[in-house]
Amino acid sequence: MDLQLSGRVAVVTGASKGIGLAVTRTLLDEGVRVVAASRKSTPELEALGGDALIHVPVDLMNPEAPGQVVSRAVEEWGGLDILVNNAGGPPPGVALPRMSFLGPADDDWRVMFEFNLFSVVRAVRAAIPPMLRRSGGSIVNVSSGSARLPAPMNVDYNAAKAALNNLTKALSEEFAPQGVRVNAVSPGPVRTAWWTEEGGAADIIAAQAGTDRDNVMDSVAPEMMKLSTGRLVEPQEVADVIALLVSPRSASTTGADFAVDAGFLKEI
């Protein structure tokens, strides 16, 4: 299927690994010019190379960073058509899961919202004017199935993502009539660094369950989270949905939230 994306300009945050890397690769394959934002590059991102990819090293916890990334896209390629707000999850230096509401203190809540909500607010604020100058664009916010499944585990993260879902709907309501579509994608547990890195979720759960990280990702986590497919989601599976959403082939899709979650969310 031709996604009709060739020649368009995109910004992807959290682009150096996981879902962001998969989105960047997929958009490049579709002929998109991509500004990839992350704190640092990775060999996997560098391997994509080519004239259609620019890496901007930024810390999105810096209030100025989202605007700087969007400005770079406009300076290099004259405008912006696509924004994928993928950066999120545990803020730098934070390990999840947290098992109780009583765990995170005020500062923990602040940095969680800074990373998972306010950085998106700033990126969208910067992106919409150049999109409007091109008579439209597409924004995809990467949320989480946990935004719609209240639980005491990771309560600060879940609340930030619930706010992101509300923001997505509000943005769509205001800007869809002007040609800017805004949607969300809500992954379940994805086999990314959040799980796989040393000290990450797999190690934390393994220590509590008396097992090893591989068993957590292959068996314990899918069973604990009641995943219908019996396995974690792969980053490319999320990236494929995002690529379709930013495509003109999804021209009538806005204000929606797509679950790519291995059957995690059971509610209607």
Rounded to the nearest 5°, which phi and psi values hold at 33?
-90, 125
The torsion defined by the Cα of 147, 150, 156 and 162, in degrees rounded to 10, comes to: 30
DSSP code of residue 233: B
Q: Give the type of residue at 215.
A: N
- Of the candidates 185, 195, 197, 199, the one whose C-alpha atom is nearest the C-alpha of residue 225 is 195
CA–CA gap between residue 233 and residue 167 (Å, rounded): 25
CA–CA gap between residue 42 and residue 26 (Å, rounded): 17
Structure tokens at 113: 């919202």
Active site includes 261?
no
Selected catalytic residue, list 157, 175, 195, 264: 157
Give the ranges where the chain is alpha helix by DSSP (H).
18-29, 43-48, 65-77, 106-113, 119-133, 155-175, 193-196, 201-209, 213-215, 221-224, 235-246
End-to-end CA distance of the chain: 30
Residue 137's H or E segment, with its range, is strand 137-142
Q: Which residues are catalytic?
A: 157
